[in-house]
Amino acid sequence: MVYYELAMIIYILLFIILVIPLAFLFFWKVYFLRSPDRLVPDAQDIILAPADGKIIEIHEYTKSEVALLKGDKRYRGLIKTITEDVSPHGYLVSIFMSPLDVHMNRAPISGKVVSVKHSDGKFLAVNSFESGLVNEKTEIVIKNKDISVKMIQIAGFVARRIVTHVKPGEAVDMGQIVGLINIGSQVTLVLPDTVKLKVSKGDRVVAGETTIAKINS
């Protein structure tokens, strides 16, 4: 009886040590790193969502003031830094990706990758715009003949590794996968004020399919 009980304990330990981690790895590869096909629109005068998730903030920014944060000037320098290479006036659209959302990030427009810049930072929960400003991030600027757009991949409390597949000088197509962020994270778009927004705070968006804004001719 003692040997039977000992054997059961060994089997349970082996199950915990081997089977559960393998099952989690399989689940991770199949579910968390899934990359479903997307029906990318043919139109070229639009800006698409770079990530799946929920729009948690839409802010209008200007060169002279940070009215978007209700008079809070603590973030003025950070906002200027992330927006000045796109436009002195424009919009910031922040998308929160939950752990259940698809983690693949897609190019919002077709064009040339002008720059890719990684910055170290904090790992706060990214369900607010302010935490996205101070967290670790990678900024990707894409430009074509009509517009420049910045896509910012922001790491969260759990997602501490940003993957970016593109480099400066590369051409990308709208809707093309350009990177990913594991678990919960945030992707913010920096758009010039020449666009017309087509979404609102609280909307759910799908990367490569949902139109975020229309480019004015």
In this structure, how many other beta carbons lie within 10 angstroms of the beta carbon of residue 33?
Answer: 13
DSSP 8-state class, residue 110: S
Please work out, in degrees rounded to the nearest 5, the angle formed at the alpha carbon of residue 210 by the alpha carbons of 214 and 174. Answer: 70
Is residue 185 flagged as an active site residue? yes
The three-class DSSP label of residue 36 is coil
63, 50, 155, 37 alpha-carbon torsion, rounded to 10°: 180
CA distance 152 to 94: 9
Task: Choose the catalytic residue: 94, 131, 148, 185.
Answer: 185
- Helices then strands, counting H and E runs in the chain, come out as 4, 14
Q: Please give the structure tokens belonging to residue 200.
A: 């609102």
Q: Which residue, among 32, 42, 50, 28, has the nearest Cα to 96 in the 3D structure?
A: 50
For residue 95, with 0-12 CB atoms within 10 Å meaning exposed, 13-18 middle and 19 or more buried, which class applies?
A: buried
Give backbone dihedrals phi and psi of 148, rounded to 5 degrees, phi first: -115, 135
Q: Which residues are catalytic?
A: 185
